């Protein structure tokens, strides 16, 4: 069945039969041929012409063009086509389609392999970072325990020994003559005072407590996420991961990049500007309650915060 191209419905496919030409339309015919509209070429209407928009069609299997309604009326098409008519009439075009599809498939496979390999690297870096922190914590706890034991042993000696000296002198003075009794009397108050008026060790810092309440951790996580998301402006090319320690108010006290990539991208993150710069306030906040979080800055612009 023959009809004008302008009579086709949206989605309908036809084959170009010819282009009506005259002396006045030679330029239009030449322009249509340059766009690929030639005999035995498949065409499909993608959008009807509605003023002031032109008619949008697909020529062949992939090329999309726009033409004016009066130009579409010059193109005669046939709609009674078979499946073989839809096959590209050009071997080079068919070869190009196959090549394009192969490249897309190969690119997809390569991207999947790279993504899997990169995920393995990130997981390994996180595991090594956590393992190093565990070893550091064990060493620190061992040294802290030894220091505390030495301090307590020193305090015990300073408290007990003067009491023994005072007791021995008191017993000897009871059996001595009056002059020694008087001399002992003058010494005993000092010994007794030294033994009894000792005070607890000063400047003993309270032990920091790690937050364990799930509800408080969730609230702190959301607060930290909102703060970082509002201040993160510079995009990151490679996903970067950081470990941060925050106080119960959500202020960042310390941070640590998990690998060299995170170190290189540190200035692109808002973490340094969010760190509590007042050493006194930071020390006091971490002596009460604190929590650790893992912050992930993804290369696609997304942010993730996970309790550690």
Q: What is the DSSP string of 203-225?
A: S-PPPPEE---HHHHHHHHHHHH
How big is the CA angle at 44 (ends 38 and 48), to the nearest 5 degrees?
115
Whether the bond into 224 is cis, omega within 30 of 0: no
Residue 256 pairs in a beta bridge with 243
Nearest CA to 32 out of 81, 70, 1, 85 is that of 70
The candidate with the shortest Cα–Cα distance to 286, out of 237, 234, 228, 244, is 244
The 10 Å CB-count burial string (b at 16+, else e) for 231-261 is ebeeebeebbbbbbbbbeebbbbebebbbeb
pLDDT > 70 in the chain, percent: 69
pLDDT of 138 over the 60 cut: yes
- Please say whether the beta carbons of 189 and 173 come within 8 A: no
pLDDT score for 109: 95
Q: How far is CA 106 from the centre of its chain?
A: 28
What gap in Å lies between CA 182 and CA 297, rounded to an integer?
80
**Of 30-39, 80-89, 267-276, where does mean pLDDT reach its minimum?**
80-89
**Residue 202 confidence class, pLDDT cut points 50, 70, 90:** very low
How many CB atoms within 10 Å of residue 55? 20
> For the segment 69-78, what is each residue's pLDDT rounded down to a tens digit?
888 889 999 9
Burial class of residue 70 (count of CB atoms within 10 Å of its CB; 0-12, 13-18, 19+): exposed
Report helix, strand or coil for 307: strand
**Per-residue confidence at 297, pLDDT binned at 50, 70, 90?**
very high
pLDDT at 244 (0 to 100): 94
pLDDT at residue 124 is higher than 60: yes
pLDDT of amino acid 85: 56
The structure's pTM equals: 0.34
Please tell me the predicted confidence (pLDDT) of residue 46.
92
Distance CA 114, CA 215 (A): 38
What's the average model confidence in pLDDT over 143-152? 61
Q: What is the pLDDT of residues 232-246, one digit of tens each?
A: 999 999 999 999 999
Query: How many angstroms separate the CA atoms of 168 and 172, rounded?
Result: 6
| Chain segment 42-54, per-residue pLDDT in tens | 999 998 877 777 8
Minimal CA–CA distance to 45: which of 36, 56, 31? Answer: 56
pLDDT at 112 over 90: yes
The larger pLDDT score, comparing residue 287 to residue 70, is at 70
Say whether pLDDT at 180 is over 80.
no
Instruction: Please name which of 261, 223, 255 lies closest in space to residue 242, comparing C-alpha atoms.
Output: 255
Q: How far is CA 174 from the centre of its chain?
A: 79
Assess whether pLDDT exceeds 50 at residue 162.
no
Strands (E), the chain: 2-4, 13-19, 42-47, 55-59, 63-67, 75-78, 209-210, 240-247, 252-257, 289-297, 303-307
pLDDT classification of 157: cutoffs 50, 70, 90: low
Span of 65-79, 122-136, 207-221 with lowest mean pLDDT:
122-136
């Amino acid at each position: 069945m023959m009809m004008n191209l302008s009579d086709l419905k949206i989605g309908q496919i036809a084959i170009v039969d010819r282009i009506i030409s005259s002396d006045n339309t030679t330029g239009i015919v030449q322009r249509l041929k340059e766009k690929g509209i030639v005999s035995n070429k498949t065409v499909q209407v993608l959008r009807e012409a509605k003023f002031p928009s032109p008619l949008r069609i697909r020529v062949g299997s992939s090329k999309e063009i726009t033409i004016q309604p009066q130009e579409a009326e010059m193109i005669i098409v046939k709609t009674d086509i078979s499946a073989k008519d839809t096959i590209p009439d050009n071997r080079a075009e068919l070869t190009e389609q196959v090549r394009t599809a192969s490249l897309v498939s190969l690119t997809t496979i390569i991207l999947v392999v790279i993504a899997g390999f990169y995920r393995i690297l990130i997981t390994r870096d996180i595991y090594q970072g956590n393992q190093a922190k565990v070893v550091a914590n064990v060493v620190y706890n061992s040294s802290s325990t030894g220091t505390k034991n030495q301090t307590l042993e020193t305090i015990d000696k300073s408290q007990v020994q003067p009491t023994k000296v005072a007791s021995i002198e008191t017993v000897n003075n009871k059996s001595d003559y009056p002059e020694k009794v008087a001399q002992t009397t003058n010494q005993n108050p000092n010994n007794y005072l030294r033994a009894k008026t000792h005070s607890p060790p000063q400047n003993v810092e309270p032990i920091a407590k790690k937050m364990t309440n799930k509800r408080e951790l969730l609230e702190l996580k959301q607060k930290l996420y909102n703060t970082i998301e509002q201040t993160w402006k510079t995009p990151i090319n490679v996903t970067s991961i950081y470990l941060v320690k925050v106080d119960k108010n959500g202020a960042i006290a310390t941070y640590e990049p998990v690998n060299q990539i995170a170190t290189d991208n540190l200035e692109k993150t808002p973490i340094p500007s969010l760190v509590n710069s007042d050493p006194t306030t930071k020390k006091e906040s971490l002596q009460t309650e604190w929590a650790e979080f893992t912050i992930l800055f993804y290369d696609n612009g997304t942010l993730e915060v996970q309790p550690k």
